[in-house]
Structure 1
């Protein structure tokens, strides 16, 4: 009989690539992970790992077993969700990973709705950028992730994640209300401006730089930070211009001038849970509250 816990370790090794990465994600020692996978090999009766340099790689049999593990683990999630749904009550703890603009604009309203409707539900929030958040979801460190997808930068669909669209959040140009950049009407007018951008290597950072290049210039990035509220503050104080999603300004009387981009690009915001877990009452309740807040409802 194959041990489900060891199958999960094998799947994590397939996902993360090294024993050390699996150990770090799941709070084990590398030797403990290696020992568990050796026992899985004995259960399977075929080699699962091959040494390659200082690391290991999965055999064809191991990759086949990972495919079955995806199905088995998703079915277990579904069974747990079905059991939880028998009561129909959203109770217990729901661990949520989100990034700044959603935490600021949507989550507080969702928490207000949930507190009134499901007082026995405890929501624990963590600030994580989308990619690390999905790794935490796979490692069972969180139960639900807020994700984003920027125009022209489609994300690979994860076989072990069930996504649900939340809202399209339009991206616009933000300029100060006074000073040399305040009269800009187009992106092309800001070739000489100082920019605040998200870090290189992130989808928001890549998208912003690409838009500027399409407009014929390389942005002069004076500040690079994932803190989008700092982006807004730097624009308000006249130190930079920025490309910002609408949610960043939600609920704030921001003293900036907003310029629409010609094609009205939007980022896609969505929620993701482990496959099979969408039926959990806590997940359904949180998703419903988020949708209501995103649609402008309050209760």
Structure 2
């Protein structure tokens, strides 16, 4: 009989690639992880790991057992969900920055009324990292976004539920005479760093309008984008959730086609029927539906 905790270590190694990364993610020492994997190998009676330079990698049979481990962890999660109806509920979520500010506080207020005993734990993370950690069972639910024409890759065993849409508009300094995108060809822009899906999307909007944006500022924090615009140093394309705290210091203009980004919740398929996770997902959707930028 295989020990489920050891199976999880094998699953984590399959996902993360190194024993050091597994140890860091689960707060173990590398030696502990190695010892537990060695014990699992003895239980299996076949070689699960093989040397790969200074590291190790899974053998073909190691990958096979890792696939079985993933299914075993899903069954364990489903069983625990069914047995925990009378126990205090706890849900761990990872959310992108705009959702942390605009959606989580009102969602918590809704949950205080709908499920008073629920304990919600939140971490703010970029969607790319959060979705990986969801697969690795660090979180129960992730809030992420998808921009027009850029579909995010979703791993097998992950369900995605649309929470709603978030309009994207041009943000320009107060009193700016620009009426639309075509008037901003000579302005300084602030965008997310190279490689981000939203950066590629924004650049394509500018190119469709006939110019290459002069990107002088890069930042992952959209609040810093808004502050650069408010100070008169840049223009930007920003979603409405950014303006939860007010937009009185900038002016907004419509983009061609009135684009929106999709805000979605991702969960593991094995927990799709969990009552607490469903309640959190519904509260986030209701918070998004009620959001009114100031």
User: TM-score over 0.5 for the alignment?
Assistant: yes
Whether contact under 8 Å (1:25, 1:136) holds in the other structure is no
Q: Aligned in 2, Cα 1:160/1:9: closer, same or farther, shift over 3 Å?
A: farther
CA deviation profile, 1:99-126 (whole Å, cap 9, x unmatched): 2111121111111111123222222222
Structure 2 stretches lacking a partner, 5+ long? none
- 1:201 alignment partner, SS class: coil
Q: Aligned in 2, Cα 1:254/1:44: closer, same or farther, shift over 3 Å?
A: farther
Find runs of 4+ consecutive structure 1 residues off by over 3 angstroms: 138-141, 213-218
Shift of 1:80: 1.1
Structure 1 partner of 2:160: 163
Structure 1 partner of 2:121: 124
Within-5 A mapping of 1:251-270: 252-270=246-264
Structure 2 partner of 1:63: 63
Structure 2 partner of 1:33: 33
Shift of 1:152: 2.5
Match of 1:227 among 221, 224, 241: 221
Match of 1:207 among 201, 213, 218: 201
Q: RMSD in angstroms over aligned alpha carbons? A: 2.2
Q: Aligned in 2, Cα 1:297/1:240: closer, same or farther, shift over 3 Å?
A: closer
1:239 aligns with 2:233: yes
Shift of 1:297: 8.2
Structure 1 partner of 2:72: 72
Shift of 1:237: 2.5
1:271 aligns with 2:268: no
Match of 1:141 among 132, 138, 142: 138
1:186 aligns with 2:183: no
- 2:110 alignment partner, SS class: helix
TM-score, normalising length: structure 2? 0.90
TM-score, normalising length: structure 1? 0.89
In 2, the alpha carbon distance for the partners of 1:213 and 1:52 equals 45
Structure 2 partner of 1:49: 49
In 2, the alpha carbon distance for the partners of 1:115 and 1:27 equals 31
Structure 1 stretches lacking a partner, 5+ long? none
Whether contact under 8 Å (1:175, 1:258) holds in the other structure is yes
In 2, the alpha carbon distance for the partners of 1:237 and 1:151 equals 29
Shift of 1:270: 1.1
Within-5 A mapping of 1:283-298: 283-296=277-290
